[in-house]
Amino acid sequence: MEKIAKKWIGSSVTRLTEVGLVTIIGCVGSTALQADEAYAKNLIKNMSDYMSAQNSLSFNYDTILEVVTEDHQRLALAGSGTVVINRPDKIRSTRSSGFADIEMLFDGKTLTLVGKGKNIYSQLDVPGSLDHLLDVLRDKYDRPLPGADLFMSDPQAKLMEGVTDIKDLGSGVIGGVECDHLAFRKKEVDWQIWIAQGERPYPCRYVITSKQIAGEPQYSIQLSDWKSGEGAKADDFVFSNPTQAKKIELKDLPNAEDLPLNFVRGKAK
């Protein structure tokens, strides 16, 4: 916890203690900034190497998706879910919110998406690795899995692509776990990550801020109940249809994201 105090000694700081806000006006010197960048990159590499080495992992997650209305009101939509992964090619996840109740299973060949509320499902043949599946979901079907960049085979490559600025913000505590807090900038987004300190440097929170949408809304995912190796939850990745769900086309599967049906996406600024 001492890193925060040491980091900002010599900086110009205006502290509004009445409302708990801090505005950082100055910066440390260039040599210190370079050291911070190198340290932050090393923390990302350690996290990436640790995540890549886990053949089995499971966790729960909570998400906040911010939306900004036409009259500039910022709204936060909350969701929760679970993820179980067996590398290199199996995943089972759930996502629930006020507007979505989706389960996803992938056995290395077939992707199944289940609309649990309406007892319907859709399937696609997507043979290949977990990385391939996550890319297809995001790029072809516009159905990205929450926090997918964190548990691909090489998180560092995805996270650091296009980064133009790096800040080491010291320590923070997420869910009772002391973490290293880092901030990064790209052309289209800013992002922050909190990485557990110690021998298991897993991600505890990941926040993305869009700079291409008016109001710059954020998306955040917080991980909990983290398990890996033999401690990870066991699961079955093959869809067995125990509820006799009706098969439909993927395009007809509703509520694939945490947005109310009456929301209409606006254009990027």
Tens digits of residue pLDDT in 35-76: 689 999 999 999 999 999 999 999 999 999 998 888 889 999
Q: What is the dihedral of CA 245, 251, 252, 257, to 10 degrees?
A: 90
pTM of the model: 0.84
Provide mean pLDDT across the span 229-244. 90
- 8/245: higher pLDDT: 245
pLDDT (0 to 100) of residue 251? 84
> Domain spans of the chain?
36-252
- 161/6: higher pLDDT: 161
What rounded mean pLDDT belongs to the chain? 84
> Do the Cβ atoms of 219 and 226 come closer than 8 Å?
no
Asked if CATH classification 2.50.20.10 holds for the domain at 36-252, the reply, yes or no, is: yes
At residue 14 the predicted structure's pLDDT band, cuts being 50, 70 and 90, is: very low
pLDDT (0 to 100) of residue 100? 80
Provide mean pLDDT across the span 178-190. 96
pLDDT (0 to 100) of residue 255? 55
At residue 228 the predicted structure's pLDDT band, cuts being 50, 70 and 90, is: very high
Provide mean pLDDT across the span 126-143. 93
At residue 18 the predicted structure's pLDDT band, cuts being 50, 70 and 90, is: very low
For residue 39, the surrounding DSSP H or E stretch is: helix 30-53
Provide mean pLDDT across the span 221-247. 92
What token pair was written down for 147? Answer: 């926090």
pLDDT (0 to 100) of residue 223? 97
pLDDT at 265 over 60: no
> Do the Cβ atoms of 248 and 118 come closer than 8 Å?
no
At residue 24 the predicted structure's pLDDT band, cuts being 50, 70 and 90, is: very low
At residue 11 the predicted structure's pLDDT band, cuts being 50, 70 and 90, is: very low
β-pair type (120-125, 246-247): parallel
- Sorted by sequence, the CB contacts under 8 Å of residue 269 that are 6+ apart come out as 212, 213, 214
pLDDT digits (tens, 9 = 90+) for 150-183: 999 999 999 999 999 999 999 999 999 999 999 9
pLDDT (0 to 100) of residue 97? 87
Q: What is the dihedral of CA 69, 71, 74, 78, to 10 degrees?
A: -30
